[in-house]
Amino acid sequence: MSVTLSANVNNDLAAVTKRMAEEENRTVSNVVENALLVFSDFPKPLRDSLLAAHRSNAKVFQDMTREMMAYIARAKFDAAMAEIAPYFAQEGDGELTDMELLEQSTAMTRSR
């Protein structure tokens, strides 16, 4: 069941939200709903820290968002690697040390 909420935002935030919705081919309502869905699941100390960093330290906030994006990319990469790993496993691979595995991987890329 849908419920209508309203919020007062400044002109800059309204413009950013409208532009984001347009660029992503979504409704403003959908953008706001998704933002609330994600933000409301964060623990309060994290929400407070994000808001404080956003208000007072643009560099810290930018660094935090980059770290989150890197974490998400790494998690996706690890999941994809786990999915395709069985297709690339070779006999004896489980016995390799990390260094041997790295050397073998490097050799495979050089032979292309």
Positive or negative, the CA dihedral 60, 9, 11, 30 is positive
Longest dimension (CA), the chain: 62
Which helix (H) or strand (E) segment holds residue 103: the answer is helix 98-110
| Average pLDDT by stretches of 10, the chain with 112 residues | 90 96 96 95 94 91 93 92 76 72 78 56
Spatial contact of 9 and 17, defined as CB atoms under 8 Å apart: yes
Question: Same domain for 29 and 79?
Answer: no
Query: What is the average pLDDT value for the chain, to the nearest integer?
Result: 88
| pLDDT for 41 | 96
DSSP states along 55-99: HH-HHHHHHHHHHHHHHHHHHHHHHHHHHHHHHH--TTGGG--HH
- Per the structure, the count of domains in the chain is 2
| pLDDT for 33 | 95
Alpha carbon distance 24, 44 (integer Å): 28
Q: Report yes or no on whether pTM surpasses 0.95.
A: no
Alpha carbon distance 84, 92 (integer Å): 17
Question: Same domain for 48 and 103?
Answer: yes
> Residue 17 belongs to what domain range?
10-41
| pLDDT for 69 | 96
The answer as to whether 86 is a domain residue is: yes
Question: Same domain for 62 and 14?
Answer: no
